[in-house]
Structure 1
Amino acid sequence: MLMNRPFLWLLFVFNLLGSIYGFYWYGNQMADTEWYWNLFVPDSPTSSTLFTIVVLLWLLGRRSRWLEMLSMVTNLKYGIWACGVIITYWNANGIVDGTDLMLMLSHGAMAVEVVLYNFNYKFDRSVLWIGACWLLFNDFVDYVYDIHPWLQDERFTAYIQFWTPVLSLLVLVFVAVLRPATARSK
């Protein structure tokens, strides 16, 4: 069912709309950031855009092991990251609002969908080094140049700064465990 063409088109449309909304969400932060860092500001919508492109390629009968790998590691990382940050603030503030619930559902879905489609990805562990470079360089830029996603306040920045690269490494290990050592033939 997950590879059913009408379902894939629905998945494509929902992810495309979510990505567009995500870039809109980051509009003010991108406007306040030097243009040359803007690629690293909208982490989640960039991730969901990668998955959207992967789904479109599947629909067109095409593949890209690089895009599949980047889609998987970034959606896992930023889906989990956003849920963790939101839960941290919920716990501290004791307040849950509709926007936070929407963000939890959408970011949680990002992580779940790439794991569900693990069976269809064609990349092997040999390309994970590119994902490692992307995630860890993004972590470096986010916390050295202070372009990480805007937080409700700065109470937890030091913790988030510590746990973000740890999460990147855990995601890379998790994906390495899920993926074969060498490419499967089709």
Structure 2
Amino acid sequence: MSLIYTYLADRRFLWLLLIINIAGTLYGYIWYEPQIVKTPTIFIPFVPDSPTASLFFVFVLAAFLLRTNWPLIEALAIITLFKYGIWAVVMNFLSLAVLGDLSWQGYMLIGSHAAMAIQGILYAPFYKMKLWHVLVAAVWTLHNDVIDYVFMQYPKYPGLEIYIREIGYFTFWLSIVGTAIALYYARRCKKGSQLRLF
């Protein structure tokens, strides 16, 4: 195991990452609160996209600390962390381009969401996903796209509404790429080439 994966497997680092992700997840749900209170109840599980993605990873880390794997949660985590991590980075840069300014929270969201995408993939060599886990996670993720861009429950960024069709199309392809990444690691699992965390 290379040096970077030795650090990633260190239980002290796992605990630190767990605490950071719990804090980020709580902040994310607070960030979405103004939209959630206006959302029909049936759509609420699909509105807070990024904090739900990081919540999946909280459970992945908790499983690691319990010396086990929860493969379905791993599949949900890797796809949604990549998708919404990249999505938020692009949306905040797009906001900067359209509005000509970005708050400090915007820059913070760029850094934190880039980290989301990276951590999901960095830990992928430790996942134990199978094909069916990835397919279920892909259905969840694509269903979320339908809720966001057919039922118009997408995250609200001021000034970007005029690009909503293009953003929806971009989001769909992020789901596809995230699923392809998960399938790659599921195939590695099948071949038995994944790393052992414990």
Question: Superposition pairs for residues 19-58 of structure 1, below 5 Å?
Answer: 19-58=25-64
Q: Is the 8 A contact 2:46 2:144 kept in 1?
A: yes
Give the superposition deviation at 1:62: 2.0
1:174 and 2:161 matched: no
1:163 maps to which residue? 170
Moved over 4 A (4+): none
Q: How many aligned positions are there? A: 186
Q: Is the 8 A contact 2:21 2:55 kept in 1?
A: yes
Compute the TM-score of the two structures, normalised by the length of structure 1.
0.94
CA–CA separation in structure 2 for the residues paired with 1:183 and 1:12: 29
Identity of aligned residues (%): 33
CA–CA separation in structure 2 for the residues paired with 1:15 and 1:77: 17
Question: Superposition pairs for residues 10-159 of structure 1, below 5 Å?
Answer: 10-153=16-159, 154-159=161-166
Once the two structures are superposed, what CA deviation does each residue of 1:99-157 show, in whole Å capped at 9, x if it has no partner?
11000011111000011111111113342111210111000011111111112131221
CA–CA separation in structure 2 for the residues paired with 1:152 and 1:141: 20
2:3 maps to which residue? none
CA–CA separation in structure 2 for the residues paired with 1:59 and 1:102: 28
Compute the TM-score of the two structures, normalised by the length of structure 2.
0.88
Once the two structures are superposed, what CA deviation does each residue of 1:38-95 show, in whole Å capped at 9, x if it has no partner?
0000000000011011101110112111011111111111101111111112122332
SS in 1 for 2:73: helix
Q: Which structure 1 segments of 5+ residues have no match? A: none
